[in-house]
Structure 1
């Protein structure tokens, strides 16, 4: 059994992105976006994503629609939708997200957005293949 006190795990995470668990059909990831930072505009063609915000404040942009987000908010990003999440506050924007199917390499840790981008561009952040 995997068990996480997810808000605590997310809050103590200093890294931009850390994969906590990867299954065959979904993946649990925690993220910390620094003040003034963002996830970066992207589209996951074949992956649904659900993001839950633990602390901080930010702005969700999904398919051109903007919405302020804060602790306790949840945003659903269906596959194929352009999206971005921006930290608009003075403190880190902390969240956890579930991808279905997995989007990142199992156990991946990206300390910064720049590191995450480099790993993705180099093809070193690929999800496990379906078996």
Structure 2
């Protein structure tokens, strides 16, 4: 999918329909909007973004968020806040895809980035 140019999107519907591990929807000068889908038993993978704040908005499924030393259950309707420099990981603890959209401030990935799977994303990094 090519990056969108509209300024208003049905983001929850788009996130629920997404089957790719990572799909960059829009990249601006200071912010980036990305869809993610984590398969049952999968995870995003532990990481730290220096100089990038991240917000993750969950729309479907169940998981566990680890941010710094804190672990918490996440589900549809929750948002996780990851300040710059914080270790974080998100695991799918349910039986269906954990679906979400996330914002990076400033952008983290190249515009138009798409990864069908975590393995593909890891190979690209």
- TM-score between the two structures when normalised by the length of structure 1: 0.90
Superposed CA RMSD in Å reads: 0.6
Structure 1: where are the runs of 5+ without partners?
121-131
Paired with 2:22 and 2:71, the residues of 1 have a C-alpha distance of 23
Do residues 98 (structure 1) and 95 (structure 2) align? no
Query: Greater strand share, 1 or 2?
Result: 2
Counterpart among 9, 15, 20 of residue 15 in structure 1: 20
Q: Which runs of 4+ in 1 moved over 2 A?
A: none
* Pairs within 5 Å for 1:56-95: 56-95=61-100
Q: Deviations over 1:77-125 (max 9, x none)?
A: 00000000000000000000000000001011000000001111xxxxx
Alignment coverage as a number of residue pairs: 120
5+ residue gaps, structure 2: 1-5
Q: SS at the partner of 1:115?
A: helix
Compute the TM-score of the two structures, normalised by the length of structure 2: 0.94
